[in-house]
Structure 1
Amino acid sequence: MIIYPPKIIVNVNKCVLETVFETQGRQDVLWYKFPLEYKELLVLEQSDAALVGLLVLAMKNNEDIHIKGAISSKLYYTISSYLIRAIHISNPTYHLITIYPESLSEKVFNIRKIAATGISCGIDSFATIATHEEFEDAYQIKYFTYFNAGSHGVFGGAIANKIYEKGIAKAKAYAALNNIPLISIESNVVDVVGINFQKLHSLYHLSCVLTLQKIISVYYYSSAFRLDYYKLSDNDTSDWDIVLIRLLETESVNFYSSVSQFTRFERTALVSNYKPSYEFLDVCTAAQNSKKINCSKCEKCLRTQVSLELLGKLNEYGAVFDFEVYKIHKDQFISKLIFEKNKNQINLELYLKLKAANQIKLKQYLLNVLPFFCKRIYNLKKWFR
């Protein structure tokens, strides 16, 4: 793979940071799109963003990376020494490769030195904001980011665009309420890499942040799990974000796996006391046709509502959840949770909270037990026939 130096293309009220690259004998373009006002703050001097965004594609194709120009010396060290091998361990079909930059740089780009975080308005996002209100100077959140880099769907489909427009509108409203600038960043990184967003979301999103090293010196990337959960997984970078994101730092920007000191239930408790969440909480990506912000019946919606109900705070969220829909689907969700309690840290914690509060009912056990036995009986009858 060959990665050429980035360049800026101005397009009406947007500016696009484009990087031409070659892989498997063909040429393609990786791009990041920003509001025009950030044109002078984009990093053209180094290819750090493109390297992070395209790394796994090169490993999948078993191609060394040749960079025409400079990259961060720190980033080169951490990726070459640790990250490539870690990704290979997580999935041996991703090959061990070598990076060949024309030059290495220790330049610090920061012009403003500010802290930023993503604003999805979910539990982890709001927990990050709520736990950083007391900090000042370099660690005070002064900018929000909102990405359209695969989390809403790929290839610009109508559903993906609808989810994105809904999300960005809500993020803008919340940012305006708090008088904090919002930087929207769009990218085709998932499209060109061609690997499921969830598998590599940390690389995709933080490659976007690396384009803004002149303005962002501290970035909080909300963790999915608490510190004591770690798994070098190919399924989801959330399983090992606490290590992974520190390997993407440069001389100019530090990444922190925020709220990793708290479990999901503890974060929900924190957020339940953060009043802006009563109007803006959005944990759902399946609410395109819902009356409320959240569909109230998907796994994320149900888990959040069950947690809020245990905390005695669910009634505060009538603006964002449909409680009638919740009541219909609650028992089935808890039934499924009982049988999948060991799936991850989040499931087990919620199951134990429900059990301690005597909120698990016999019918919730039977909802999954009866279909299981009926299926076994059917299979036995079929075998005898």
Structure 2
Amino acid sequence: MSKINTEMSALMQTYNRFPLTLTKGKGSYVWDEEGASYLDFTSGIAVCNLGHVPEEVKHAVSEQLEQLWHCSNLFHIPAQEKAARLLCGNDFDEAFFCNSGAEANEAAWKLARKYMYDQNKKEKTDIISFTHSFHGRTGGAMAATAQEKVHTGFTPLMPGFSYLPFNEETVTEKINPEKTAAVMLELIQGEGGVRAADKSWVNNLAEFCSKNDILLIIDEIQTGAGRTGTLFAYEQYSIKPDILTAAKGIGSGFPAGAMLAPKNIAASFNHGTHGTTFGGNPLSMTAVYATISAILEPGFLEDVKNKGMYFQKELQNAAAGYEVEIRGSGLMTGMAFKETIVPLIDHLRKNGVLALPAGPDVLRILPPLTASYMELSAFADTLKQSLNEWKEGE
């Protein structure tokens, strides 16, 4: 396998890249420039939920390529309307489209503050998020992210953001209703170690927010688009978000982010309050509509749930004898070890399988939602082999 000489590269070295150059992808597999294939259970970090180059999305985008690539949001874009109706479902009324998850989260806290301003509650500006969270790397999204490693070198951070302990029972006692505009929460923290929010804790938090006129923002950047077995993870909780953000898997690799809200809250984003040049462009919106349509096909999400339960059992069998905690829902899985897992990821890659870290000691596994049972079993078999190689090499 080849490795780019970073000393000669014209790229800023903001990524600690794997020693791979990928040139082709189809379904659950990718190929490098030397023709070697890899079972890709990174899915582009939960982006390629329908696998690489899904035919239904490819066909729809190819047709759109012949018609119109870009136009300003000052014009009506029919593909936006179609995608918005699908994503909003029964719980939301309107969508704002952008290019990424970070942009969606920026839009969410801006909308929360603007809504409070419009309600004559100008003192309610604080945004609260939770330890281990990750909401993006732009200014506001970084300030909402409660991870010191993300902040290092970028202080002072944007003011108005504070953090509370994730899953702590008494957390509502630390929230000032007079100052707080919104609480921002991931139901499963992806970058933070694939940690799931306790359902009773979430329900209590949502009830507190509702009683105290605090907006509940649910960040579904990584958990959305069917990843956990429902279109959005909040459907597995007894809550209804005031604002929801989505990105990654909604566009099958085309840059797309979305913020969803009910009409009364969305009304605060009136003319000129927020915008984007490329967000909601015809190509991305066509990809979103085709992707979400496929995910909402009868039986698809039920199949994801069944595969998720099957896969966790396979992983448990593969890791028998090792001290590991298996976390997650649907096909969003984390395996928490007691030591750094970088060598394990290297062994997996050398054995033809790609996976990711979620912190130093958590193996993050994100198969395409279309992965077959045979492919799920193949990953588990390779994991068992790689675990044994890892331990033998110590």
TM-score tier by shorter-chain length is under 0.3
TM-score normalised by L of structure 2: 0.27
- Higher share in helix: 1
TM-score normalised by L of structure 1: 0.28
Rg comparison, structure with higher value:
1
